[in-house]
Amino acid sequence: MDIDHDAIPPDVPDEDRRFFLKQSMFIAGLSMAPVDFLQAALAPDDGPVGNAVKVKLSLTVNGKRRRISIDPRMTLLDVLRENMGLTGTKKGCDFGQCGACTVHVDGRRTLSCLTFAVMQHGSKVTTIEGLSDGEKLHPLQEAFIKHDGLQCGYCTPGQVMSGVACIREGHAGSAAEVREYMSGNLCRCGAYPNIVDAILEVKKEGAKV
Amino acid sequence: MKPFQYLRPKTIAEAISMATDYPEAQYIAGGTNLVELMKRGIASPSKLIDINHLPLKKIEHRYDRLRIGALALNSDVAKHKSVLSRQPLLAQALLAGASGQLRNMATVGGNLLQRTRCSYFYDLALPCNKRKPGTGCGAEAGINRTHAIFFAGNGFGGNEKSSCIAVHPSDMCVALAALDTEVVINGTSGERRVPLKDFHRLSTLQPELDTNLQPGELVTAIEVTDNAFAQHSHYLKVRDRASYAFALVSVAAALQMDGGRIWDARMALGGVAHKPWRYWAIDLMLRGQAPSEKLFREVAEHEMQSARATTQNAFKIKLTSNAIVAALKAATGIS
């Protein structure tokens, strides 16, 4: 079963919306059904095998090795959403301008819309679904809730993934630094001050991110 | 998007031979520009040569120069110890560009080779001599407030069939243009080196060509020669929002000072021309002088005499002039 975060009705009251988000993140985490397993065993060191129609490759997504066969034109974003049902990662502009598709690839924050999945053969990808520990949210997710770091929530998975990386990179030393290093994540609702507060608080409290 | 075959070469020679064998092939590194161009149908390679697994990521200082592999990521270059200590201007320029995510993906080679962000280049419904040679330039009489103010010779980008008033979008290249940089290029006949000033082209005649790279050639590294500018360099970027926007105007200033006087000066401007615009005369004008706002104002206005506005960007002439003064003040530490 796939949960579509986009399908949250806009008129859901705030508290319910948060519950829905929490719950759906959890369910999405559980529902990562194996997709299109292939016979061929692919070692990450070998290049992806295929032609202009289909390529076989393997990715480790949220700790789980996934083998897929896809059109080489598919971006990492589309593979996560369409093939793996991980719809937490959002498609905003699809041109690298909004940051909604931010995921971690081999520990670095990356725009999944601007990389072909085939280029990531052998990589380790973490999405918003892989950030929480089951039902236990990541400290930055908790801080977003506490500080009201979202309104419509569409940019939130990208903001959270980018915010975690921002803290890990050591660029959350001040509000000005956070604003600069989070500038690749747009929020059209304008929750920026609260997002900055959430990141600064997690950094200050020194929780393991 | 047109279908493509994905290729992953293991060696530089294999990559070059693939690109030579298939004229419709393109190299891909970070992909931050090329993937967009492919999605929009502006680039449509039939083979995509993924060079990310070639051994070209190293950043090292050897003899008298800093050598940065073409696949070094912008974020890694910006925080590298040797870059920060020897060429802080380059680190500043890199951090002024793009976002944390994009800098984690974009490579030095790709940064050199990125295409313009002129909106006419990206809109398939409108004329653009760079995208489709001979169709005209939509920007010349269109929306051009972000476009060029410096051109080859006295003219605009060229004649009607070849004009282009687009600007080069890179910050990194502006810093590199102010410094002594060489681009290391490999091809079927071996390695060659091109000074950065000769790597990018002005738009006259063939605006579809951004650089002098030949078909099949691969940028493998850049090399920046040691200098004495580290204490007095400054990258100033002026843009429509505080962060994450291309430059309206940027200034890379690098000076050597001793005893309260300037002994060497380099400057390049971004956002004003089809390539990073080197201000060649600045060294003559500043050498031996004590820094002052009056002097910097004269220096700025001197270069702006050769600037020409299009219909909407006259403001950029004054803006560039002010940015030059501000960058020189910051580099020399005068208030």
CA distance A190 to chain B (A): 15
Q: Give pLDDT, residue A33.
A: 39
Are A26 and A78 part of one and the same domain? no
User: In a mutagenesis test of the A interface, which of B18, B38, B51, B104 is the best target, namely the one with the most A β-carbons within 10 Å?
Assistant: B104
In a domain, B269, yes or no: yes
In a domain, B270, yes or no: yes
Are A26 and A45 part of one and the same domain? no
Q: What is the mean pLDDT of residues A38-64?
A: 80
Tell me if B48 and A55 make a contact (CB, 8 A cut-off): no
Q: Which domain holds residue B36?
A: 5-52
**φ, ψ of residue B318 in degrees (nearest 5):** -65, -40
Q: Could you give the percent of chain B with pLDDT greater than 90?
A: 95
Q: What is the mean pLDDT of residues B18-37?
A: 97
Are A72 and A120 part of one and the same domain? yes
Using CB atoms, pick whichever of B4, B39, B104 lies closest to residue A110.
B104
Task: Judge contact between B238 and B248, C-beta under 8 A.
Answer: yes
Flag whether residue B180 sits within 8 Å of chain A, measured between CB atoms: no
Indicate which CATH number applies to the domain containing B23.
Answer: 3.30.43.10
Flag whether residue B260 sits within 8 Å of chain A, measured between CB atoms: no
Q: Give pLDDT, residue B201.
A: 96
Q: How many domains does chain B have?
A: 2
Are A100 and A45 part of one and the same domain? yes
Q: How many domains does chain A have?
A: 3
Q: Which domain holds residue A9?
A: 1-32
pLDDT tens digits, one per residue of B228-255: 999 999 999 999 999 999 999 999 999 9
In a domain, B284, yes or no: yes
DSSP label at residue A197: H
- Chain B hits for A162, CB-CB cut-off 8 Å, are 100-101
pLDDT higher than threshold 80 for residue A30? no
Indicate which CATH number applies to the domain containing A171.
Answer: 1.10.150.120
Buried b (16+ CB within 10 A) or exposed e, A77-110: bbbbbebbbbbbbbbbebebbbbbbbbbbeebbb
Are A157 and A197 part of one and the same domain? yes
pLDDT band, very low/low/confident/very high, at A43 (cuts 50, 70, 90): low
Are A147 and A91 part of one and the same domain? no
Indicate which CATH number applies to the domain containing A56.
Answer: 3.10.20.30
Cβ atoms within 10 Å of A53's Cβ, excluding its own: 9
Are A46 and A123 part of one and the same domain? yes
Indicate which CATH number applies to the domain containing B316.
Answer: 3.30.390.50
User: In a mutagenesis test of the B interface, which of A125, A183, A199 is the best target, namely the one with the most B β-carbons within 10 Å?
Assistant: A183
Q: Could you give the percent of chain A with pLDDT greater than 90?
A: 77
In a domain, B215, yes or no: no
Are A143 and A183 part of one and the same domain? yes
Are A56 and A119 part of one and the same domain? yes
Flag whether residue B1 sits within 8 Å of chain A, measured between CB atoms: yes
Alpha carbons A129 and A78: distance in angstroms, whole number: 15
Tell me if B100 and A53 make a contact (CB, 8 A cut-off): no
Flag whether residue B54 sits within 8 Å of chain A, measured between CB atoms: no
DSSP label at residue A82: I
Instruction: Indicate the average pLDDT of chain B.
Output: 96
CA atoms within 13 A on the CB side of B289: 18
pLDDT higher than threshold 90 for residue A15? no
State the complex-level ipTM.
0.96
Instruction: Indicate the average pLDDT of chain A.
Output: 86
Are A1 and A63 part of one and the same domain? no
In a domain, B110, yes or no: no
Are A164 and A190 part of one and the same domain? yes
Are A165 and A191 part of one and the same domain? yes
pLDDT tens digits, one per residue of B149-190: 999 865 555 566 778 999 999 999 999 999 999 999 999 999
pLDDT higher than threshold 80 for residue A7? no
- Chain B hits for A179, CB-CB cut-off 8 Å, are 242-243
Q: Which of A130, A161, A179 is the last residue of a domain?
A: A130
Q: Which of A130, A162, A183 is the last residue of a domain?
A: A130
